[in-house]
Amino acid sequence: MTISPDEHVAVVTGASSGIGEATARTLAAQGFHVVVGARRLDRLEHLARDIGGTALELDVTDEDSVDAFAAVLPRVDVLVNNAGGAKGLATVMEADLDDWRWMWETNVLGTLRVTKALLPKLIDSGNGLIVTITSVAAFEAYDNGSGYTSAKHAQAVLHRTLRGELLGQPVRLTEIAPGAVETEFSLVRFDGDEERAAKVYEGISPLVAADVAEVIGFVASRPSHVNLDQIIIKPRDQASPGRFARKQD
Ligand code: NAP
Protein backbone atom coordinates (compact mmCIF):
# COMPACT_ATOMS: atom_id res chain seq x y z
CA MET A 1 0.00 0.00 0.00
CA THR A 2 1.47 3.35 -0.96
CA ILE A 3 0.53 6.32 1.13
CA SER A 4 2.05 9.75 0.75
CA PRO A 5 3.90 11.03 3.86
CA ASP A 6 1.26 13.67 4.59
CA GLU A 7 -1.69 11.29 4.26
CA HIS A 8 -3.62 10.18 7.34
CA VAL A 9 -4.99 6.65 7.40
CA ALA A 10 -8.43 5.65 8.67
CA VAL A 11 -9.31 1.96 9.02
CA VAL A 12 -12.97 0.95 8.90
CA THR A 13 -13.90 -2.65 9.72
CA GLY A 14 -17.13 -4.10 8.30
CA ALA A 15 -17.07 -1.58 5.47
CA SER A 16 -18.73 -3.81 2.86
CA SER A 17 -22.19 -2.60 3.89
CA GLY A 18 -24.26 -0.23 6.02
CA ILE A 19 -22.68 2.05 8.61
CA GLY A 20 -19.13 0.95 7.74
CA GLU A 21 -19.49 1.71 4.05
CA ALA A 22 -21.07 5.11 4.73
CA THR A 23 -18.34 5.92 7.27
CA ALA A 24 -15.62 5.06 4.76
CA ARG A 25 -17.20 7.47 2.26
CA THR A 26 -17.46 10.26 4.87
CA LEU A 27 -13.86 9.89 6.09
CA ALA A 28 -12.52 9.72 2.51
CA ALA A 29 -14.38 12.95 1.71
CA GLN A 30 -12.61 14.52 4.72
CA GLY A 31 -9.23 13.64 3.20
CA PHE A 32 -8.31 10.38 4.94
CA HIS A 33 -6.83 7.48 3.00
CA VAL A 34 -9.42 4.91 4.06
CA VAL A 35 -8.53 1.24 4.40
CA VAL A 36 -11.71 -0.81 4.25
CA GLY A 37 -11.88 -4.33 5.68
CA ALA A 38 -14.52 -7.08 5.64
CA ARG A 39 -14.99 -10.61 4.31
CA ARG A 40 -16.73 -9.67 1.02
CA LEU A 41 -13.75 -8.37 -0.92
CA ASP A 42 -15.68 -7.76 -4.18
CA ARG A 43 -17.84 -5.12 -2.47
CA LEU A 44 -14.80 -3.55 -0.78
CA GLU A 45 -12.90 -3.26 -4.06
CA HIS A 46 -15.79 -1.41 -5.66
CA LEU A 47 -15.95 0.97 -2.67
CA ALA A 48 -12.17 1.50 -2.56
CA ARG A 49 -12.17 2.45 -6.26
CA ASP A 50 -14.93 4.99 -5.58
CA ILE A 51 -13.17 6.67 -2.65
CA GLY A 52 -9.53 6.25 -3.65
CA GLY A 53 -8.86 3.96 -0.68
CA THR A 54 -7.53 0.46 -0.13
CA ALA A 55 -9.57 -2.74 0.11
CA LEU A 56 -8.28 -5.56 2.30
CA GLU A 57 -9.96 -8.83 3.14
CA LEU A 58 -10.58 -9.10 6.88
CA ASP A 59 -12.33 -11.61 9.10
CA VAL A 60 -12.30 -10.17 12.61
CA THR A 61 -13.03 -13.63 14.07
CA ASP A 62 -9.78 -15.01 12.64
CA GLU A 63 -6.48 -14.16 14.35
CA ASP A 64 -4.37 -14.82 11.22
CA SER A 65 -6.62 -12.63 9.09
CA VAL A 66 -6.35 -9.75 11.58
CA ASP A 67 -2.55 -10.15 11.82
CA ALA A 68 -2.16 -10.14 8.02
CA PHE A 69 -4.43 -7.07 7.79
CA ALA A 70 -2.45 -5.17 10.45
CA ALA A 71 0.92 -6.11 8.94
CA VAL A 72 0.38 -4.23 5.68
CA LEU A 73 -0.80 -0.96 7.24
CA PRO A 74 2.01 1.62 7.16
CA ARG A 75 0.29 3.83 9.76
CA VAL A 76 -3.09 4.17 11.46
CA ASP A 77 -4.59 7.45 12.64
CA VAL A 78 -8.24 6.43 13.01
CA LEU A 79 -9.77 3.02 13.72
CA VAL A 80 -13.52 2.53 13.39
CA ASN A 81 -14.50 -0.75 15.07
CA ASN A 82 -17.72 -1.29 13.17
CA ALA A 83 -17.78 -4.97 12.10
CA GLY A 84 -20.52 -6.70 14.03
CA GLY A 85 -24.14 -7.62 14.13
CA ALA A 86 -26.83 -9.82 15.61
CA LYS A 87 -28.07 -13.37 14.97
CA GLY A 88 -31.61 -14.34 15.91
CA LEU A 89 -34.03 -13.31 18.63
CA ALA A 90 -34.55 -15.92 21.34
CA THR A 91 -35.31 -16.17 25.04
CA VAL A 92 -32.48 -17.24 27.32
CA MET A 93 -34.35 -20.53 27.75
CA GLU A 94 -34.18 -21.13 23.99
CA ALA A 95 -30.79 -19.53 23.35
CA ASP A 96 -28.87 -20.91 20.38
CA LEU A 97 -25.26 -21.35 21.47
CA ASP A 98 -23.96 -21.01 17.91
CA ASP A 99 -25.72 -17.65 17.51
CA TRP A 100 -24.21 -16.49 20.80
CA ARG A 101 -20.75 -17.64 19.69
CA TRP A 102 -21.12 -15.72 16.39
CA MET A 103 -22.19 -12.51 18.21
CA TRP A 104 -19.47 -12.70 20.85
CA GLU A 105 -16.75 -13.65 18.35
CA THR A 106 -17.68 -10.85 15.96
CA ASN A 107 -18.65 -7.94 18.22
CA VAL A 108 -16.52 -8.58 21.31
CA LEU A 109 -13.46 -10.63 20.40
CA GLY A 110 -13.38 -9.09 16.91
CA THR A 111 -13.13 -5.61 18.42
CA LEU A 112 -10.50 -6.87 20.87
CA ARG A 113 -8.38 -8.53 18.14
CA VAL A 114 -8.40 -5.55 15.78
CA THR A 115 -7.85 -2.99 18.55
CA LYS A 116 -4.91 -4.94 20.02
CA ALA A 117 -3.33 -5.34 16.60
CA LEU A 118 -3.61 -1.66 15.63
CA LEU A 119 -3.04 0.05 18.98
CA PRO A 120 0.75 0.42 18.62
CA LYS A 121 0.26 2.23 15.28
CA LEU A 122 -2.52 4.42 16.70
CA ILE A 123 -0.22 5.49 19.53
CA ASP A 124 2.70 6.04 17.11
CA SER A 125 0.52 8.34 15.00
CA GLY A 126 0.72 10.90 17.81
CA ASN A 127 -3.00 11.68 17.47
CA GLY A 128 -4.97 8.43 17.27
CA LEU A 129 -8.73 7.96 17.44
CA ILE A 130 -10.68 4.78 18.12
CA VAL A 131 -14.40 4.87 17.36
CA THR A 132 -16.35 1.79 18.41
CA ILE A 133 -19.89 1.21 17.16
CA THR A 134 -21.75 -0.36 20.06
CA SER A 135 -25.55 0.08 20.24
CA VAL A 136 -28.43 1.13 22.44
CA ALA A 137 -28.24 -2.61 23.24
CA ALA A 138 -25.02 -1.78 25.11
CA PHE A 139 -27.06 0.30 27.57
CA GLU A 140 -30.27 -1.72 28.02
CA ALA A 141 -31.29 -5.36 28.03
CA TYR A 142 -34.39 -6.40 26.10
CA ASP A 143 -36.45 -9.60 25.97
CA ASN A 144 -35.23 -12.18 23.42
CA GLY A 145 -32.10 -10.13 22.78
CA SER A 146 -29.68 -11.40 25.43
CA GLY A 147 -27.12 -12.78 22.98
CA TYR A 148 -26.78 -9.40 21.28
CA THR A 149 -27.29 -7.14 24.33
CA SER A 150 -24.69 -9.09 26.32
CA ALA A 151 -22.20 -8.94 23.44
CA LYS A 152 -22.74 -5.20 22.94
CA HIS A 153 -22.42 -4.58 26.71
CA ALA A 154 -19.12 -6.51 26.69
CA GLN A 155 -17.83 -4.71 23.59
CA ALA A 156 -18.71 -1.36 25.19
CA VAL A 157 -16.96 -2.22 28.47
CA LEU A 158 -13.83 -3.23 26.54
CA HIS A 159 -13.90 0.12 24.74
CA ARG A 160 -14.66 2.16 27.93
CA THR A 161 -11.84 0.38 29.80
CA LEU A 162 -9.37 1.56 27.17
CA ARG A 163 -10.39 5.18 27.86
CA GLY A 164 -8.76 4.82 31.30
CA GLU A 165 -5.90 2.54 30.30
CA LEU A 166 -4.81 4.90 27.52
CA LEU A 167 -5.05 8.04 29.61
CA GLY A 168 -1.86 10.02 28.96
CA GLN A 169 -1.40 8.43 25.51
CA PRO A 170 -2.22 10.39 22.34
CA VAL A 171 -5.33 8.33 21.55
CA ARG A 172 -8.94 9.46 21.79
CA LEU A 173 -11.85 7.06 22.27
CA THR A 174 -15.43 7.54 21.16
CA GLU A 175 -18.30 5.12 21.60
CA ILE A 176 -21.16 5.55 19.13
CA ALA A 177 -24.37 3.80 20.21
CA PRO A 178 -27.02 3.82 17.49
CA GLY A 179 -30.66 2.82 17.76
CA ALA A 180 -32.47 1.49 14.68
CA VAL A 181 -30.51 2.06 11.46
CA GLU A 182 -31.87 0.57 8.23
CA THR A 183 -28.95 -1.47 6.86
CA GLU A 184 -28.41 -5.18 6.22
CA PHE A 185 -28.37 -5.64 10.02
CA SER A 186 -31.88 -7.17 10.29
CA LEU A 187 -31.38 -9.25 7.14
CA VAL A 188 -28.31 -10.81 8.79
CA ARG A 189 -30.14 -11.16 12.14
CA PHE A 190 -32.99 -13.07 10.48
CA ASP A 191 -30.82 -15.16 8.12
CA GLY A 192 -31.86 -13.43 4.90
CA ASP A 193 -35.63 -13.32 5.66
CA GLU A 194 -36.46 -10.03 3.88
CA GLU A 195 -40.06 -9.85 5.06
CA ARG A 196 -39.12 -10.24 8.71
CA ALA A 197 -36.27 -7.76 8.33
CA ALA A 198 -38.56 -5.14 6.74
CA LYS A 199 -40.99 -5.39 9.68
CA VAL A 200 -38.34 -3.97 12.03
CA TYR A 201 -38.56 -0.60 10.23
CA GLU A 202 -42.30 -0.69 9.41
CA GLY A 203 -44.17 2.50 10.35
CA ILE A 204 -41.09 4.39 11.58
CA SER A 205 -38.49 6.61 9.98
CA PRO A 206 -35.31 4.76 10.95
CA LEU A 207 -31.84 6.24 10.81
CA VAL A 208 -29.89 5.59 7.62
CA ALA A 209 -26.21 4.67 7.60
CA ALA A 210 -25.20 8.17 6.45
CA ASP A 211 -26.78 9.69 9.62
CA VAL A 212 -24.33 7.74 11.77
CA ALA A 213 -21.40 8.29 9.39
CA GLU A 214 -21.93 12.05 9.55
CA VAL A 215 -21.57 11.96 13.34
CA ILE A 216 -18.38 9.87 13.05
CA GLY A 217 -17.05 12.45 10.59
CA PHE A 218 -17.78 15.16 13.17
CA VAL A 219 -15.93 13.18 15.88
CA ALA A 220 -12.91 12.66 13.62
CA SER A 221 -12.68 16.34 12.76
CA ARG A 222 -12.58 17.74 16.34
CA PRO A 223 -9.31 19.26 17.57
CA SER A 224 -6.98 16.70 19.18
CA HIS A 225 -7.67 17.84 22.78
CA VAL A 226 -11.43 17.19 22.44
CA ASN A 227 -12.66 13.68 23.29
CA LEU A 228 -16.31 12.90 22.63
CA ASP A 229 -16.71 9.92 24.97
CA GLN A 230 -20.18 8.57 24.16
CA ILE A 231 -22.82 9.44 21.60
CA ILE A 232 -26.25 7.79 21.58
CA ILE A 233 -28.09 8.36 18.32
CA LYS A 234 -31.67 7.16 17.76
CA PRO A 235 -34.49 7.89 15.32
CA ARG A 236 -37.04 10.35 16.70
CA ASP A 237 -39.54 7.46 16.56
CA GLN A 238 -37.53 5.35 19.03
CA ALA A 239 -37.35 5.87 22.81
CA SER A 240 -35.50 2.67 23.79
CA PRO A 241 -34.40 -0.59 22.10
CA GLY A 242 -37.94 -1.98 22.09
CA ARG A 243 -40.13 1.13 22.24
CA PHE A 244 -41.20 2.73 18.95
CA ALA A 245 -43.90 5.10 17.77
CA ARG A 246 -45.19 3.19 14.73
CA LYS A 247 -47.61 4.75 12.29
CA GLN A 248 -50.53 2.46 11.38
CA ASP A 249 -51.94 2.49 7.80
P1 NAP B 1 -24.57 -4.48 8.15
O2 NAP B 1 -25.08 -3.69 7.02
O3 NAP B 1 -25.01 -5.91 8.29
O4 NAP B 1 -22.97 -4.40 8.17
C5 NAP B 1 -22.20 -5.25 8.99
C6 NAP B 1 -20.76 -5.24 8.50
O7 NAP B 1 -19.98 -6.07 9.38
C8 NAP B 1 -20.63 -5.82 7.09
O9 NAP B 1 -19.77 -5.00 6.34
C10 NAP B 1 -19.99 -7.18 7.33
O11 NAP B 1 -19.10 -7.50 6.24
C12 NAP B 1 -19.17 -6.90 8.58
N13 NAP B 1 -18.81 -8.15 9.28
C14 NAP B 1 -19.62 -9.07 9.82
N15 NAP B 1 -18.89 -10.09 10.30
C16 NAP B 1 -17.59 -9.78 10.02
C17 NAP B 1 -16.36 -10.47 10.24
N18 NAP B 1 -16.31 -11.67 10.84
N19 NAP B 1 -15.22 -9.87 9.85
C20 NAP B 1 -15.24 -8.67 9.24
N21 NAP B 1 -16.37 -7.97 9.00
C22 NAP B 1 -17.53 -8.55 9.38
O23 NAP B 1 -25.00 -3.81 9.54
P24 NAP B 1 -24.74 -2.33 10.15
O25 NAP B 1 -26.03 -1.90 10.72
O26 NAP B 1 -24.04 -1.45 9.22
O27 NAP B 1 -23.80 -2.74 11.40
C28 NAP B 1 -22.58 -2.09 11.68
C29 NAP B 1 -22.38 -2.05 13.19
O30 NAP B 1 -23.41 -1.23 13.77
C31 NAP B 1 -22.47 -3.40 13.90
O32 NAP B 1 -21.48 -3.47 14.91
C33 NAP B 1 -23.86 -3.39 14.52
O34 NAP B 1 -23.95 -4.23 15.65
C35 NAP B 1 -23.97 -1.91 14.87
N36 NAP B 1 -25.32 -1.41 15.08
C37 NAP B 1 -26.27 -1.50 14.09
C38 NAP B 1 -27.55 -1.00 14.33
C39 NAP B 1 -28.65 -1.08 13.30
O40 NAP B 1 -29.83 -0.89 13.66
N41 NAP B 1 -28.36 -1.30 12.04
C42 NAP B 1 -27.86 -0.41 15.56
C43 NAP B 1 -26.86 -0.34 16.54
C44 NAP B 1 -25.60 -0.82 16.28
P45 NAP B 1 -18.86 -8.95 5.62
O46 NAP B 1 -20.12 -9.74 5.78
O47 NAP B 1 -18.53 -8.63 4.18
O48 NAP B 1 -17.70 -9.51 6.36
Q: Is 113 a domain residue?
A: yes
- Find all residues with CB under 8 Å of 112, minimum gap 6, and list them: 158
* In-domain check, residue 170: yes
Q: What's the number of domains the chain is made of?
A: 1
Percent of the chain whose predicted confidence (pLDDT) is above 90: 97
Residue 18 lies in a domain: yes
pLDDT band at residue 6 using 50, 70 and 90 as cut-offs:
confident
pLDDT at site 2: 79
CA-based nearest residue to 174, from 112, 141, 128: 128
Output the DSSP codes for 43-106. Answer: HHHHHHHHHT-EEEE--TT-HHHHHHHHHT-S--SEEEE----------STT--HHHHHHHIII
Domain for residue 211, yes or no? yes
Flag whether pLDDT at 178 surpasses 80. yes
Instruction: In the chain, count H helices and then E strands.
Output: 9, 11
Distance CA 130, CA 67 (A): 18
Rounded CA separation 29/34 (Å): 10
Helix (H, G, I), strand (E, B) or coil at 13: strand
pLDDT at 248: 86
Range of the domain at 227: 9-241
Tell whether 1 is covered by a domain.
no
Percentage of the chain modeled with pLDDT above 70: 100
Q: Three-state DSSP class for 24?
A: helix
pLDDT band at 243 (very low <50, low <70, confident <90, very high): very high
Cα-to-centroid distance, 5 and ligand 1 (Å): 31
21 CA → ligand 1 middle, Å:
10
pLDDT band at 3 (very low <50, low <70, confident <90, very high): confident
**Whole-number pLDDT of residue 202:** 97
Stated length of the chain: 249
- Please tell me the predicted confidence (pLDDT) of residue 5: 78
21, 58, 108, 183, best to mutate for ligand 1 pocket (most atoms within 8 Å of CB):
183
What spacing in Å lies between the alpha carbon of 207 and ligand 1's midpoint? Answer: 15
CATH number at residue 113: 3.40.50.720
Distance of CA 73 to the CA centre of its chain: 19
CB-based pocket (< 6 A), ligand 1: 13-20, 38-40, 58-61, 82-85, 106-107, 110, 133, 135, 178, 180-181, 183-185, 188, 209
148 is annotated as an active-site residue: yes
**Tens-digit pLDDT profile for residues 204-220:** 999 999 999 999 999 99
* pLDDT of 249 over the 80 cut: no
Question: From the candidates 100, 104, 148, 244, which is the catalytic residue?
Answer: 148
pLDDT at 151: 99
Q: What is the pLDDT of residue 128?
A: 98
Whether residue 216 lies inside any domain: the answer is: yes
pLDDT at residue 130, as a whole number: 99
Q: Mean pLDDT, the chain, as a whole number?
A: 97
Q: Would 248 be classed as within a structural domain?
A: no
Tens of pLDDT, residue by residue over 54-67, are 999 999 999 999 99
pLDDT tens figures, 71-125: 999 999 999 999 999 999 999 999 999 999 999 999 999 999 999 999 999 999 9
Question: If we measure between CA atoms, which residue out of 58, 10, 62 comes closest to residue 37?
Answer: 58
Ligand 1 pocket check: which of 34, 43, 82, 199 to mutate, most ligand atoms within 8 Å of Cβ?
82
Instruction: Tell me, yes or no, whether 247 lies in a domain.
Output: no
Asked whether residue 36 carries a pLDDT value surpassing 90, the answer given is yes
